[in-house]
Structure 1
Amino acid sequence: MIAQLHRIGVRSAYLQAASMGSVALCIGLWIRAKTVDQEERGNAERRALFVGLWPPTLWLIGDTLRELE
């Protein structure tokens, strides 16, 4: 899978930038969750936590691509 990503032009810097962007997205979603009413808050917090799982995955894929480069 990593070799195929490299072959189609995905670079490690792209994935590491996406990782940092998902951290910002997670924080934004978490702040937004505090502004919605109580009925929707649980779903909004779960969405923020789900997005919070992306950064380590994207970063590690980027590290693996960097080794290939």
Structure 2
Amino acid sequence: MFVWLLHRIGLRSAYLHLASMGGIALCLGLWIRAKTVDQQERGNAERRALFTGLWPPTLWLIGDSLREFE
């Protein structure tokens, strides 16, 4: 049902796969940036990078589901 709705509004699997790759790049960028901040803010910056790192697998799997639906 959810995949059908995403397909109906015009979302395609390639879009989600590209968003997944972008999420990986964003995660790496945030992780590198976390190494440049001072020690007091480093923990928060690393948690932000790890949270962002959870998005790519989810987006990729939704994209795979859409590809099977297409």
Common fold, TM-score beyond 0.5? yes
Please show how residues 15-30 of structure 1 align to structure 2 within 5 Å.
15-30=16-31
Q: Which runs of 5+ in 2 are unaligned?
A: none
**Distance of 1:41 and 1:17 partners within structure 2:** 29
The one-character-per-residue Cα deviations of 1:20-45 (angstroms, maximum 9, x if unpaired) are 00000000000000000001000000
In the alignment, what sits opposite 2:3? 2
Runs of at least 4 residues of structure 1 off by over 6 A? none
Aligned-residue CA RMSD in angstroms? 0.4
Structure 1: 5+ residue stretches without partners = none
User: What TM-score, normalized to structure 1?
Assistant: 0.99
Aligned residues: 69
Normalised by the length of structure 2, the TM-score is: 0.97
For 2:10 and 2:40, the matched residues in 1 are separated by 43
Overall identity of the aligned pairs, in %: 80
